[in-house]
Amino acid sequence: MSTILVTGGTGYIGSHACVELIESGYDVIVMDNLYNSTEASLGRIEQITGIRPKFYKTDLLDEEGLKKIFAENSIDAVIHFAGYKAVGESVAKPLLYYENNIKGSINLYAAMKEAGVKRIVFSSSATVYGDPVRVPISEDFDVHTTNPYGTTKLMNEMILSDIAAADPEWSVLLLRYFNPIGAHPSGLLGEVPNGVPNNLVPYIARVASGQLEYLRVWGNDYPTVDGTGVRDYIHVVDLAKGHISAVAYALEHNGVEKINLGTGNGYSVLQVLHAYEKACGKELPYKIMERRPGDIASCYADTAKAEKLLGWKAQYGIDEMCRDSWNFTLKNPNGIE
Ligand code: WQD
């Protein structure tokens, strides 16, 4: 079976992808610098699948370390998750984001080229669409970014597209995630944000567990169903399964494909909050605040291309996403240890 290198494989989405890869019969190698995750995730992957992936504690900026991984293993494809991902932090520290997410990724691509590994699935983001002219969003929409984090995603898309244009033997899948939430149904893997969460569902989880007092709802004057922001939330297991379909496609085809990974359904902040109340069996307090700078009103995916090209469609609904998020939160009050 093929061997897949997963960069960022101890992280939230990466660890779920490792589980699905192993369960699909792939050999998995994980590379991570543990900046935003813990090696304990490998033990959780083993608890779920019975297999502990081979692990390299390596930073994308360590060129020799990257070359070592490719020299020591016969890698068929790479899934590239590793990167800093906090929008607000990227605005405050742009150079940190460009050095890690761009320079680091170029190091990875150079190591791949040198080793003759020409198949990659890249973790991109719907944030490249900026404020869309309409919804649902399809892959042919204009792209424009509004923060350094989003710009690093778009720049990686462009770099990989140029590499593939120069060498038609490359296969590049650019997966544009919408809003990943939830956790593995076992409760063994899930999202463990650093500090106070910026994102909606991890924040709600902290309110439900009593660690935070109430949810601040960033604006209720948007042109949406109830005035609060609408997003396309996708279960992290659905997202991980999308990577299995993508890597299978990448192993069989050459060229570049940009693909949305979303559910095609939009939910408002208050709709998610109420779904979470059902999941945790508690009323969750919230306060309506001013809009958060940079937020858009509504964003959800046209999922036709993923269905047609990859034969993939998200299966879980918002209730299962909140159920699994709450189950993970209850079982891991101190995160993954
Ligand atoms: C969702 C909605 C907020 C927190 C970001 C990145 C994107 C991707 C996902 C990486 C919005 C509202 C949130 C809170 C709230 N990350 N909200 N109170 O901004 O859609 O996307 O995370 O790829 O690239 O941009 O996600 O979860 O921050 O916000 O009211 O405490 O919840 O206003 O409407 P977002 P989010």
Cα 27 to Cα 2: distance, rounded to the nearest angstrom = 6
Domain boundary assignment for the chain:
3-184+233-263+301-314
Task: Compute the distance from residue 304 Cα to the ligand 1 centre, in Å.
Answer: 24
The CATH label, of 3.10.20.520, 1.20.1250.20, 3.10.129.10, 3.40.50.720, for the domain at 3-184+233-263+301-314 is 3.40.50.720
Closest by CA position to 261, among listed 180, 181, 184, 323: 180
For residue 46, CA distances in Å to 40, 187, 241 come to 10, 14, 18
Q: Give residue 194's pLDDT.
A: 86
The atom number, within ligand 1, closest to the CA of 292 reads 33
The atom number, within ligand 1, closest to the CA of 127 reads 24
181 phi/psi in degrees, rounded to 5: -145, 175
**Residues 133-170: pLDDT tens digits?**
999 999 999 999 999 999 999 999 999 999 999 999 99
pTM of the complete model beyond 0.75: yes
Judge whether 51 and 23 are in contact, CB under 8 Å: no
**Residues 239-256: pLDDT tens digits?**
999 999 999 999 999 999
Using CA of residue 153, residue 159, residue 309, residue 239, what is the dihedral sign?
negative
SS3 141: coil
**Residues 166-182: pLDDT tens digits?**
999 999 999 999 999 99
Give the closest residue (by CA) to ligand 1 atom 8.
Answer: 179
Q: Specify whether 300 is catalytic.
A: no
Asked whether the predicted pLDDT for residue 314 surpasses 90, the reply is yes
**Residues 253-269: pLDDT tens digits?**
999 999 999 999 999 99
> What value does the mean pLDDT of the chain take?
97
- Across 214-250, b (16+ Cβ under 10 Å) vs e yields ebbbbbbebebeebbbbbbbbbbbbbbbbbbbbbbbb
Angle between helices 200-208 and 318-331 (to 10 degrees): 50
Task: Compute the distance from residue 321 Cα to the ligand 1 centre, in Å.
Answer: 16
Task: Compute the distance from residue 305 Cα to the ligand 1 centre, in Å.
Answer: 24
